[in-house]
Amino acid sequence: MTMFRWKILAMMLAAGSFSALGSFAQGTIIYISQPTVFSGISGVPWAHDFDLDSDGVPDYRFTNDGAISYVSPLGSNRQTAHPATPPDMGSSLTPLLAGETVGASLDPLLGVWVDQSNPNMGWNSMISGCLNVGCFGPFAYRTAYMGFDFLAGDGERHFGWLRIDDTIPGGHVFVTDWAWAATPGESIMAGAVPEPSALALLVGGGVLLVWFRRKRNARANKITAANSRPASPFGSRGLRRRALVVESHGRYPGGAAVAQFDRWANSVRLL
């Protein structure tokens, strides 16, 4: 890519950063990347509460009965799951794929919204488990998304996703990141994250522009230095070419090249 095209790209980045300021300020998605592992002593039941928006109110509870890991919504919060058929109890947490929609209307293939009001403990959703025969469950040996609908600290309900990495199942739950739609009641696609930061675009465009300016100044200084170089005393008398020959090829034993050069220099002074 030519210097001119790189400069145009830098200008576009800098200009685009200002247009991105509007969408960034809108805050359409709130995204948190904070890898968290919920675990306990192997074979011993454990439970950990999880606060999505750090408002001091737990939103979900991850548990393990010694073999199988579950997640349950707290309060009026909900999650996407497939309830078990009675007389079985509980449910299986739906492993959403990237791009699937989390909102008020769910694709039937994605299950249903479950909360504390579901019968037969339908709100207690299995993530995965391991027994002597091996590991099993909807998230076992994979990374997928949990869809949630929770009451945030702003007093409004928000749809979101939470990524669970269960590629190595066994007595723990590994949450890598999560996000929710900033607008109450607005749907969100699993795995969706905010647009690039306007600040990042400004920095990227600014760095390129500074680099081009330095390259331009360096080239201008080089040209100026070349034009202002003192003329050789030999150049005006047509002897510079012969001097260069001695300088580049005159490597004779006994310093003959130096002596030859001195004789030419003396002849110049006598002219």
- The more confident residue out of 36 and 247 is 36
Phi and psi at residue 158, to the nearest 5°: -135, 140
State how far the alpha carbon of 166 is from the alpha carbons of 35, 141, 160, 173, 241, in Å.
13, 5, 19, 7, 76
- Is residue 263 exposed (0-12), middle (13-18) or buried (19+ Cβ within 10 Å)? exposed
Tens-digit pLDDT profile for residues 171-192: 999 999 999 999 999 999 999 9
Phi and psi at residue 48, to the nearest 5°: -140, 130
pLDDT value for 223: 59
pLDDT value for 196: 73
- Rounded to two decimals, the pTM is 0.65
Domain boundaries, the chain: 28-193, 232-271
In the predicted model, is pLDDT for residue 208 greater than 60?
A: no
